[in-house]
Amino acid sequence: MTDHTSIKKIGILVMSYGTPASMDDIERYYTHIRHGRRPSDAELADLTRRYAAIGGTFPLRDNTAKQVEALRGKLHARYPGRFDVREGLKHAEPFIEDTVRAFHEEGLERLAGIVLAPHYSTMSVETYLTRAREEADKYGMESVFVRSYHDHPLFIQALAERVEDSVKALQADRPGQKIKVLFSAHSLPKRILNENDPYVDELMMTSRLVAEAAGIEDWSFVWQSAGSTREPWLGPDILEVLPSLKDEGYALVLVAPVGFVSEHLEVLYDLDQEALSRGEELGLTVRRTRMLGTDPRFIETLLSKLEEVLGSWLQEEGVSRAL
């Protein structure tokens, strides 16, 4: 058996978007998102209103911590004492750079990073990876990163189960009524289409694989949560699609937000309140699937992808799994 005490630990950096610490922290948080530019009074009021609408809570913070803890547990069980697993956030403390620096200060020379976002884009996931890589480079740390896991079999399986269960529940409650499944993800500026960015293709692949696994033929993909900027964003938005579904004779709509892995503002407000309310106005019943959270298959997906990028390091030092 490998003597793990003789092998240097590797830092595992689990990255997420971050969220305000409280209602009073929303302005600071929003200013950070805007690269130091304070939001207008109207913009700040709108974001504050949306958080208030979900109870003045910030579930992403706790949900991220739970996912990190679940991954830490799996890694420790498989490779006892081998990894130091911590979170690093894009727009809140502990910032990505804070965690990388902490690894360095504790003597770690290598880190592997993964973002709690399944689909790669230069405008989203890459911004996390770049910040982590640049900070690691400051200290001469080696770093490797997972780019995406949009088609991992366990990820697809967990999503498909949720779609299948929700469709069955809707059909049991409203038998014989026409149902449409909408896969959704966070919109990005439309210019990514001219930059050979894989974001759209990866989302389409996830949606197709989930639909096939769940036995769903009647589905579409929609965007949500577009930013309020002057440039055009990817569409159509879900709020634009719902009226057309009503016109086409649908009574039931199931939204599967495959671009997200836990509950947060874009799910609890943009879908559970805004889309549901719009559906009610149109006479549509709109529901969404459960989020992945700490589903063991999702956590195993993260671990599996980390093992891929860690492969040469683990082989180099002769690290084996615990029996």
d(CA 139, CA 239): 47
The reply, when asked if residue 51 is annotated as ligand binding, is yes
Contact between 78 and 12 (Cβ < 8 Å) = no
Helix (H) or strand (E) holding 131: helix 125-138
Q: Tell me how many degrees the CA angle 132-136-137 measures, rounded to the nearest 5.
A: 120
d(CA 36, CA 39): 9
The reply, when asked if residue 139 is annotated as ligand binding, is no
Q: Tell me how many degrees the CA angle 7-14-29 measures, rounded to the nearest 5.
A: 140
First to last CA, the chain: 9
The reply, when asked if residue 17 is annotated as ligand binding, is yes
d(CA 150, CA 153): 9
Beta pairing partners, 222: 184
Which token pair is 226? Answer: 């577009």
Residue 37, burial from CB neighbour count under 10 angstroms (0-12, 13-18, 19+) = exposed
Task: Please report the DSSP string for 65-78 in residue order.
Answer: HHHHHHHHHHHHHH
The reply, when asked if residue 231 is annotated as ligand binding, is no
Please, what's the largest Cα pairwise distance for the chain?
A: 67
The reply, when asked if residue 72 is annotated as ligand binding, is no
Closest CA to 146 of 318, 77, 155, 226: 155
Binding-site members for Fe(2+) are 186, 266
Binding-site members for Fe-coproporphyrin III are 17, 34, 50-51, 128
Binding-site members are 17, 34, 50-51, 128, 186, 266
